Amino acid sequence: MSNTKQIPRRGTLARAESRQALGFVSPALAGLALFTVVPVVLSIVMGFFNWPTFGEKTFVGLDNYVKLFTQSPDFWPALRNTFVFALLYVPISVGLSLLLAISLSARIRGRGMLRVLFFIPVVTPMVANVLVWKMMLQPQGLFNGLSQTWFGVELPNFLADPQWAMIMVVMMSVWQGLGYNMLIFSAALEQLPESVVEAARIDGARGFRMLWSVTLPMISPSLFFASIMTMITALQVFVQPQLLTGGGPGNATQPLVQFIYNQGFKFQELGLAAAAAWILFAIIIILTALQFRAQKKWVHYEH
């Protein structure tokens, strides 16, 4: 098995193998082409057309984009709602799950159990989660019932009040997504190299100092990953407002994706929907790129 013997054979073998490999991946490639590349390209094209579901499709250039920004009464509110949601959701979700992961990293009793408990909302279907939250939040629900019997105070109609509705959507989403980020952080915390931690301890690092100067920099790649993924899912939020508040009251909690859904599937304006989807895509790409640029300052990959 010496190197010299293999060199001449490796070329042909590798070529043969890569051909075979191509054969094996071709179903996947075909699937990718059919279900990803084609729709993506089609949606770019659609964005430049007035594309009703049936009837004449006409090329309108940038009209769809102009229409969105200048005429559509729901587009700016939807954009605003998406940003409000992301600005509230990302820091709270990342912060809380980090706190949970750190609290559960100490070897306390029953922490496995607690981790499972916090992870349950991630694996239960969103529809069921929303149903439970609705039963708690509506005027005849749990919270208002308890508050009235205990304190005689009538709580606001949470999901029907423009301000409260958004707060409740964020709260429900944080609760729903907490376990996932917690799991990522827990895994990172478990893998802190003993030697570094020990060295820091010998140098006298304790408590907050330890956390800020040693632990956080060490798990910064996980933090980076979690915040990017959380930001992307936050900008794509749809199910929670759709099911919990229906985008209402009015359009107070209608995010961009729900706007796109309504345009495309309720109003059958596929061109407008495609244009809005590409705006969302651009926003996500730009914000992700900015985060990647910023990571050089605070993410440390080498231990």
Contacts with other proteins, residue ranges (CB under 8 A):
16, 19-20, 22-23, 26-27, 29-31, 34, 53-55, 73, 134, 137-141, 157, 159-162, 165, 242-251, 254, 262, 265-268
> In the complex, what is the shortest distance from the CB of residue 7 to other proteins, in angstroms, rounded to a whole number?
23
Q: In terms of Cα–Cα distance, which of 56, 231, 250, 282 is closest to 274?
A: 282
Residue 133, SS3 per DSSP: helix
Give the residue with the Cβ less far from other proteins, 53 or 103: 53
Q: How many CB atoms lie within 10 A of CB 79?
A: 19
Give the residue with the Cβ less far from other proteins, 42 or 285: 42
The DSSP bridge partners found for residue 49 are 59
Give the residue with the Cβ less far from other proteins, 3 or 140: 140
The answer for residues whose C-beta is within 8 angstroms of residue 10's C-beta and 6 or more apart is: none
| Prior bond of 125 cis (ω within 30°) | no
The answer for residues whose C-beta is within 8 angstroms of residue 68's C-beta and 6 or more apart is: 75, 272, 275, 276, 279
Give the residue with the Cβ less far from other proteins, 76 or 298: 76
What the block records as the tokens of 41 is: 């390209």
> In the complex, what is the shortest distance from the CB of residue 232 to other proteins, in angstroms, rounded to a whole number?
24
Give the residue with the Cβ less far from other proteins, 148 or 191: 148
> In the complex, what is the shortest distance from the CB of residue 284 to other proteins, in angstroms, rounded to a whole number?
26
> In the complex, what is the shortest distance from the CB of residue 272 to other proteins, in angstroms, rounded to a whole number?
12
Give the residue with the Cβ less far from other proteins, 233 or 268: 268
> In the complex, what is the shortest distance from the CB of residue 165 to other proteins, in angstroms, rounded to a whole number?
8
Distance between CA atoms of 60 and 45, rounded to whole angstroms? Answer: 11
> In the complex, what is the shortest distance from the CB of residue 167 to other proteins, in angstroms, rounded to a whole number?
14
Give the residue with the Cβ less far from other proteins, 217 or 249: 249
Sequential DSSP letters for 58-73: EE-TTHHHHHHHHT-T
Are 40 and 33 within 8 A, CB to CB?
A: no
> In the complex, what is the shortest distance from the CB of residue 56 to other proteins, in angstroms, rounded to a whole number?
10
Are 16 and 33 within 8 A, CB to CB?
A: no
